[in-house]
């Protein structure tokens, strides 16, 4: 009987270790495969480059830019970088593939120390959470975004 208990314990231990290697534990919640959600903090973005978009479902520029973003960024880089759309009016865009929602912890001004009252806006972080580029409103282009992502992935 003791031998069976040891075997069960070893099986449990192996399962637990393999589960832990596929997940990241942050603030007592498990984020599988580094998926970002409405409960994430900036620390959850660490480990690989990240892009955070800030938009609103009532913003026509945001609605126009999102399909282009999906084609040029999300479809190309979603395995290599963290991607999150922080929808500031606490709604969801029609594109369901891209992780999105409202997270008050993820705030443009808190992250960049730059006041921004415009959408669409975005921030690119390196794998350590350092801001590498940001755009408030239409300050910068999608091509600049893609270039910066490529530079971060090369490192």
Query: So what's the pLDDT on residue 26?
Result: 35
83: its two tokens: 């991607």
List, for the chain, all residue ranges whose pLDDT scores fall below the cut of 50.
Answer: 13, 15-33
Contact, 25 vs 39, CB < 8 A?
no
Q: What is the 3-state secondary structure (H, E, C) of 96-109?
A: CCCCEECCCCCCHH
Looking up tokens 């239409």 gives 138
123-141 pLDDT, tens digit per residue, is 999 999 999 999 999 899 9
pTM of the predicted protein model: 0.76
Contact, 149 vs 124, CB < 8 A?
yes
Query: So what's the pLDDT on residue 11?
Result: 57
Query: So what's the pLDDT on residue 128?
Result: 95
Query: So what's the pLDDT on residue 21?
Result: 38
Query: So what's the pLDDT on residue 36?
Result: 78
Superfamily in which the 35-154 domain is placed by CATH: Glutaredoxin (3.40.30.10)
């Amino acid at each position: 009987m003791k031998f069976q208990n040891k075997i069960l314990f070893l099986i449990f231990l192996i399962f637990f270790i393999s589960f832990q290697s596929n997940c990241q534990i942050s603030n007592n919640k498990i984020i599988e495969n580094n998926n970002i959600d409405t409960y994430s903090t900036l620390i959850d973005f660490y480990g690989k480059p990240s892009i955070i978009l800030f938009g609103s479902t009532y913003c026509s520029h945001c609605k126009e830019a999102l399909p282009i973003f999906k084609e040029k960024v999300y479809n190309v880089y979603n395995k290599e970088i963290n991607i999150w759309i922080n929808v500031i009016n606490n709604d969801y865009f029609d594109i369901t593939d891209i992780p999105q929602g409202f997270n008050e912890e993820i705030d443009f001004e808190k992250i960049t120390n730059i006041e921004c009252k415009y959408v669409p806006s975005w921030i690119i972080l390196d794998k350590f959470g350092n801001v590498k580029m940001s755009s408030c409103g239409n300050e910068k282009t999608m091509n600049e975004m893609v270039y910066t992502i490529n530079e971060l992935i090369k490192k």
